[in-house]
Structure 1
Amino acid sequence: MLRAADIMTTDVATIRSSATVAEAVKLMKARGWHALIVERRHDQDAYGIITETDIVYKVIAFGKDPAKVRVYEIMSKPCIVVNPDLGVEYVARLFAEHRLLRAPVIQGELMGIISLVDIINESKFLELPRAVVLKQELEDAIKKARLTCRETSPRSEECAIAWDIVDELQAELAHQEAKRVSKTAFEEYCEEFPEAMETRMFDTWCSG
């Protein structure tokens, strides 16, 4: 699975919150950047972000002098950040939920920035949609679970662990497709081998 770190842009610029919008625009024009990350004042501070949209909507649209408006007056802070290890489809979901165009990639320190363009251009969603991959992984996991249970026992711990993996994949696929699972693969297996439920019930009692 592609991660945010695999498709992010590492060529990213920062700017002080006390800088003027005119300075921000000059920096953006110099490298063709669409956004700047606003530096933290100290280690416990949050990163901010100033974008072209902020400048157009909050400065130009009101006829304000960019040389007199400070970055901190129009920036977004704290800004939503992306973990570099987050899967691309979850990055896309985060963007959709918060209507984001771009976000900094941070893990302790600033590593890069990721945008809608990066997601579209660099991800493999056209050639290999995540739902297709999950369906194949689910089919393989079901086959492996049945084989494991046949080689050990429907009551074995190995069998229970194998079906836990199937459950997780099936739940993720259902979430991906926004569908409700009427009957899980494990429940179908238990119709053939009711004794398989005993191990899971025992695990539930122990955990409770």
Structure 2
Amino acid sequence: MSTVREIMHAGADCVRTEETAADAARMMARLGVGALPICGKDDRIKGVITDRDIVVKVVAEGRDAGTFPAGDLNQQEAVTIGADDSTDEAMRVMSERRIRRLPVIDGQRLVGMVTVADLATSVPEPRVGELVEALSRS
């Protein structure tokens, strides 16, 4: 059985809670990603911000992305996965929480991100199909 560490994208960057939604958008564009972990001053993960969050919760609401704090887009609870957890555990968490990207931590330190695409290229097809089906339910 594979571990998350074996398939993750290593070295994920964080947007800080005090940075703006526009800062997050620029970082996503520069890195070519659609989501970033949000980290507080204590370097702990507070949540994840997606490009969709910026569009739906900031731009579409008429808010100024240049002044809207990225930290205000935090979820109630940061959902993460341990680097040494199994890929099966990652799929279980993603299915239950209906999320497509998970920050990967080693202790409390961010070490990467794992996505549905990462799992699709490393896990047997039927299992990934179950994950995609769970994520597609409304």
Normalising by structure 2, we get a TM-score of: 0.81
Please give the secondary structure, in 2, of the residue aligned with 1:59: helix
Following TM superposition, by how much is the alpha carbon of 1:52 offset from its aligned partner in structure 2, in angstroms?
A: 1.4
Deviation string 1:119-138 (CA, Å, 9 cap, x unpaired) is 112x1303xx67xxxxxxxx
Instruction: Tell me, yes or no, if the aligned pair for 1:79 and 1:103 is still in contact at 8 Å.
Output: no
For 1:112, the aligned partner's letter is G
Following TM superposition, by how much is the alpha carbon of 1:72 offset from its aligned partner in structure 2, in angstroms?
A: 1.2
Q: 2:91 — aligned with what?
A: 92
Instruction: Tell me, yes or no, if the aligned pair for 2:38 and 2:47 is still in contact at 8 Å.
Output: yes
Question: How has the CA–CA distance of structure 1 residues 124 and 116 changed in structure 2, closer, same or farther, with 3 Å as cutoff?
Answer: closer
Deviation string 1:74-106 (CA, Å, 9 cap, x unpaired) is 122531010112111221111010001111100
Q: 1:59 — aligned with what?
A: 58
Instruction: Tell me, yes or no, if the aligned pair for 2:9 and 2:113 is still in contact at 8 Å.
Output: yes
Q: 2:114 — aligned with what?
A: 114
Following TM superposition, by how much is the alpha carbon of 1:60 offset from its aligned partner in structure 2, in angstroms?
A: 2.1
Identical-pair percentage? 30
Output the aligned Cα RMSD.
1.9
**What aligned pairs does 1:5-154 form with structure 2 within 5 A after superposition?**
5-42=5-42, 45-76=44-75, 78-108=77-107, 109-121=109-121, 123-126=122-125
Q: Write the distance in 1 (CA, Å) between the matches of 2:17 and 2:82.
A: 23
Q: Write the distance in 1 (CA, Å) between the matches of 2:45 and 2:95.
A: 22
Give the structure with the higher percent helix: 1
Give the structure with the higher percent strand: 2
Q: How many equivalent residue pairs?
A: 126
Normalising by structure 1, we get a TM-score of: 0.56
For 1:103, the aligned partner's letter is L
- Structure 1 residue runs without a partner (length 5+): 131-208
